[in-house]
Structure 1
Amino acid sequence: MDWHRHSRPLALELVRRESRWFEPLSYVPRHVFVPRWWERDGDGWTVRDGAEDPEAWMSAAYSNRTLVTRVGPLHADEVEPGTAGQGLPTSSSTLPGLVVAMYRHASITDGSRVLVTTGSGYGTALACWRLGAEQVTSVDVDPYLVKAASTRLACGLGMHPQMAVCDVTGPLPGEYDRIVSTVSVRPVPVSWLAALRPHGRLVTTLAGTGLIITADRTDDGGAVGRVEPDPAGFMQTRHGDDYDRPADALWQIVRDLDGEDVSTSRYPLLYVPDAWDVWSMLSLVEPGIEHRVSEDGGRRTVWLLHADGSWARATASGFLEAPVVHQGGPRRLWDALERIRNRLNRSGTLPVYGARVRIEPDGVMTLSRGSWSVAVA
């Protein structure tokens, strides 16, 4: 199977030929790390097997898109082709362009010792090709993922980085010049500061937002940096087989409930995760909101749900119809969203992208830009 005729165009799409990431993208066989994957099928998922359709496999593996490899507790590798799944994605092979973007944000040098997160192992392989496997440590909370990636790295590419089953939010197995996490965290773990060498850099995304955080370790044991101008989203860290969804029970109650407050919004209906800056800002000032959406005959409904019992539901038909908003519980979530949209409408921008980042040695994080600041917990 001539996979090079697929990988090289991908490399040319993502970087210039003189980039240090051109060879890794050209010569690391991504399909080896994703022999099976989950694809959306209506409201659920279906497993695809690469060996059953090699051309579709190559097309998927060497496209710049994320391939979901685990849904709920089910690894695509371990179920029969055509199996249906339900739930949230819990692991994936991140789109190659985003992996390289995270590595570029890390300002990796030839001598850098780097800790990365494992997932499928493809990102680990790119780092090993660029630096040499002896300079790379790869960790994941899932023993199966670590074992599968280790085998594919060794048998497919002869690479033997240090691999460890490890909760990335806890103690890390060494000291590093760079920590690059392709799972999102909130806040940045204190253990990362302890594991970073002097003036080392961490790169991650903040859970519940589209914000890439870069920060360099300071002499006092903290770190300073910024929110990068490009958005990104990763699955957040988990500590079990699946994610908790604390608002599930609330959603069943309030799906069609009349709210304590009923109003008409001045803005078109928005499913908040579709707008990176608004989503990120709302998550910073009102953390823990879950977002859901449904469409029925051209009528769209979005929900904002919080485990404390706060909720909002907005419904409209088409872009021009003013949404009717129902709200209940101890806080008014839609009002918080409207304040952010008012600010965006008034200023033309929101302060989240480009904000300065300060992480104290005890892990307390502050984002600030101009007169705006927020503590991240």
Structure 2
Amino acid sequence: MELARKLLIKRRNVEYVLQYGNVTPFMWYKGKYRCFYCTEPMKDPEALRNHTATHTSVNLENVVHYRTKNNRNKDAAVKIDVTGISCKLCSQAVTNLEELINHLIIAHDAEYDVTVPNCLLAFRLDKEQPTCPTCDMKFVFFEYLLRHANKYHLSHDYICDVCGTSFQGENHLKMHNRYYHRQGGYTCDHCGISHATLSKKILHEKNVHQVNLSTCPHCPELFKSPYFKKLHMANVHGVEEMKIKCPFCPKVFPQESIMSRHMRRVHLREKNVACEVCGDKFFGPYDVKLHMVKHNGEKKFVCTECGKKFSKKSNLNAHMVLHTGERKFSCEECNKTFAHHTNYKVHMRNRHDLGKQLISEPYKEGIPMLDESDMIQIIDQEEMDATEIIESYKLC
């Protein structure tokens, strides 16, 4: 009953702000802004504001109820653009959402209940540089601003008893427990191996038992990752919509989000996430996680031959060639062999002056070379250990 009462208050609070405040409500789905009222997709925030202004006769109560009725959206804050925010009822100047809410309560007797948090989440939308109005931090892409705002500017009242992670709503906490803390873990349906999380079980079944692999619609090829399926369709079958070109270089990607990640890392060099220990800045949370190994000294990868421990699986794999004696990189010029590709490249550059050719040479005809920054996007999609992914699919 308490949750139902809070939801009713949340809906009423949202209605007040949308009715009396000059703000633009919106949704975000698949890399585009969507009209809160009719769901029309747009990429330009100015077009979103102009379009939303045409909805002058909507039934706010019905729309807000519909947008917050399913389990996922009950806990979520309604996103609003506060560019040019003002009160519709008078000429009183306001500069942010908090000022607008206080003004509506004091000057216009609005029955806004400030005891219910997470009703609205404010943004200043700009096509080139969307900004967080709370702390004035600027971002190149809206998806990174959205993650920032959800993490730092919402009241997270729901705490996981097992790991201490906080969530903005009960439904998010329940989903977290379902995926990460089910008693007894998650058992593979094919070999009985137990996994700590559901995502690890699903990935195990895909990688080991070839279950639920993606199929190419044009040929019998199977893929463990949607990324490689799209890459295959773009390069082998020439599907044009899968070819998204970087505006700064000739590189082509099968997903806009991966192209955006490439731009942010390679061309814009945007580093917004700081290490809490030393203050060094990184591209994203995963990079910070890798960096933290330097501070906590954790070495969980152990060599089965000699017992030596490593902080990264890639370092363990590189070490293992000392025991296996494998030297799979061979120089075609002088037949000298190498255990590691890095040593092979140095040899070719120093002895045969072929370094530049090797670096730019594609791994397979028709498929572009992937660097580590591109592979990290696959990690986000597959929820696997990044180093394992990079090692598994390393193309050079």
* TM category, shorter: under 0.3
The normalised TM-score by structure 1 is 0.25
Which of structures 1 and 2 has the larger relative contact order (alpha carbons within 8 angstroms, sep 6+)? 1
Q: Which has the higher helix share?
A: 2
Q: Which has the higher strand share?
A: 1
